Amino acid sequence: MTIVGQETISESDLAYRNFIGTCRSPSTCYIYKKALQYFLSYLKLGFQDHVKLLDMDPKIAQMNICDYISYLRTQKGLGSQSVAAYVSAIRKFYVMNDVQLNWEKIHSFEGEGEKRAEDRPYIHSEILAMLQKTTPRNRAMILLMASAGLRVGSLPSFRVKDLEPIDRYNIYKVNVYASSKKSSYFSFCSVEARKEVDEYLEWRKRLGERIKPESPLFRTEFSSLQIQQPQPLTQSGIRYIVNKLLRNTGIRPVIPFTETRKHYRSQIMECHALRKFFEKNAVKAGMDLIYVRRLMGQKSGLEDSYLKLSEEELLQGDDRHVGYIGIIDQLTVDESNRLKKEVEHYKVKASQFDSLRTEIDELKKLIGSK
């Protein structure tokens, strides 16, 4: 046991707290926890046996990590980027607990950087296909991720109060990681996303739930007895929902494993492809990459310190920059909404053409009378 302040804490709990308490964001925290659990499982240790990792001789610990990397590459068929993500969690655990290992040697086992598959964003029709085969909650969730460029790890932390209505545009300001001082930022969501979120919350109210500002935005399925005790959806639960939709719609069919193919990675990364959808379509609509990065919560070094962009600038843009309002049409998934906008655009063009033709006819008459 160790005394920290006025608290007595076990060595294992202290080791774990050193590791997890320094993660930058809830999403990173979730990924690192899972990665460390997989490593413990590989070593046939319990999930609470963190201190046993520290009790090992450093050379033994180093050998275990190198063997684990080989296992991930050869037995699990993971690419170098996936392996590096697992190793980064293990490295953080040892570094934060003051255990020195030869990380240059360990990283050499990861192999050359390579891509096993060229992942891509969703296209509009694929997202629409998923929306047509799912529930109000899942529609709201998918459209919020797609139109605000959210990480899937941010969704479990959302509370109802984290969405601020901007009624002049009929959209929401989306406050991401609102309770975190280090990771908080904001984005916006599209008109159709707000509509689906509002309809989902109204559905919960009709069933008798008393929705409060602190209520989770997306809750797990519930019975009538649980209606006033909403539990937020977990990240793994969200991934399961999206993965099931991908199978049911045929967007990402199940590929059976064979003797020669024991691992398969699709071009579409379940939830991250929704974030890529936002990035691609924001750029396609003319938004500057700096604006895109801010709305996606990506850190950009010195730019964050010196370039301060206000909410109004990111929302409306200016003479030289496209704001969020300027990309909504490109982010809109429902074809009928986008076609309606196009029809309105061509109607304006036709009206301008008619006015020009009338002016020309009047000029001809004037010239003819002379």
pLDDT tens, 67-89?
999 999 888 878 787 888 899 99
Do 258 and 322 sit in the same domain of this protein?
yes
Angstrom CA distances, 153 to 166, 214, 221, stand at 25, 18, 19
97: in domain:
yes
Report whether pLDDT(2) > 80: no
Question: Lowest-confidence range among 76-85, 172-181, 311-320?
Answer: 76-85
Report whether pLDDT(262) > 60: no
* Residue 174, beta-bridge partner list: 163, 187
Do 97 and 187 sit in the same domain of this protein?
no
List the domain range (segments joined by +) for residue 63: 2-108
Question: Lowest-confidence range among 158-167, 175-184, 208-217, 361-370?
Answer: 361-370
Question: Lowest-confidence range among 203-217, 265-279, 282-296?
Answer: 265-279
Do 84 and 184 sit in the same domain of this protein?
no
348: in domain:
no
Q: Look up the CATH number of the domain holding residue 35.
A: 1.10.150
Among 2-11, 215-224, 347-356, which range has the highest average pLDDT?
215-224
What is the Cα–Cα distance from 24 to 275, expressed in whole angstroms?
A: 19
Report whether pLDDT(252) > 50: yes
8: in domain:
yes
Q: How many domains does the chain have?
A: 2
**Which residue, of 90, 108, 126, is where some domain finishes?**
108
- Reported residue count of the chain is 370
> In this predicted model, which residue has the larger pLDDT, 345 or 364?
364
Beta-carbon contacts of residue 356 (< 8 Å; ≥ 6 apart) = none
Question: Lowest-confidence range among 14-28, 92-106, 319-333?
Answer: 14-28
340: in domain:
no
Phi, psi of 117, rounded to the nearest 5 degrees: -150, 145
Do 12 and 131 sit in the same domain of this protein?
no
249: in domain:
yes
Q: Look up the CATH number of the domain holding residue 267.
A: 1.10.443.10
pLDDT at 263: 53
pTM attached to this predicted model: 0.73
pLDDT at 344: 65
339: in domain:
no
Band of the pLDDT at 287, cuts 50, 70, 90?
Answer: very high
Is the CB of residue 11 less than 8 Å from the CB of residue 1?
yes
> In this predicted model, which residue has the larger pLDDT, 188 or 33?
188
> In this predicted model, which residue has the larger pLDDT, 300 or 269?
269
Average pLDDT score over residue span 158-165:
97
Nearest 5 degrees, angle CA 145-CA 142-CA 325? 50
Report whether pLDDT(308) > 90: no
119: number of CA atoms within 13 Å, CB side?
19
Do 62 and 168 sit in the same domain of this protein?
no
Do 51 and 75 sit in the same domain of this protein?
yes
Do 121 and 41 sit in the same domain of this protein?
no
Do 138 and 83 sit in the same domain of this protein?
no
Do 15 and 58 sit in the same domain of this protein?
yes
**Which residue, of 108, 127, 153, is where some domain finishes?**
108
Average pLDDT along the chain = 86
Average pLDDT score over residue span 242-254:
89
pLDDT (tens digit per residue) in 119-144: 789 999 999 999 999 999 999 999 99
Question: Lowest-confidence range among 1-10, 221-230, 291-300?
Answer: 1-10
Report whether pLDDT(24) > 50: yes
365: in domain:
no
**Which residue, of 68, 86, 108, is where some domain finishes?**
108
pLDDT at 31: 85
What percentage of residues in the chain have a pLDDT greater than 70? 85
Report whether pLDDT(342) > 60: yes
Do 100 and 140 sit in the same domain of this protein?
no
Cβ burial of 274 (10 Å; 0-12, 13-18, 19+) is: buried
> In this predicted model, which residue has the larger pLDDT, 306 or 41?
41
Phi, psi of 119, rounded to the nearest 5 degrees: -75, 155
> In this predicted model, which residue has the larger pLDDT, 362 or 150?
150
Report whether pLDDT(150) > 90: yes
Do 220 and 273 sit in the same domain of this protein?
yes
Report whether pLDDT(4) > 50: no
204: in domain:
yes
What is the Cα–Cα distance from 203 to 152, expressed in whole angstroms?
A: 23
Report whether pLDDT(1) > 60: no
Do 102 and 121 sit in the same domain of this protein?
no
Closest among 50, 73, 315 to 171, alpha carbons compared: 315
Band of the pLDDT at 6, cuts 50, 70, 90?
Answer: very low
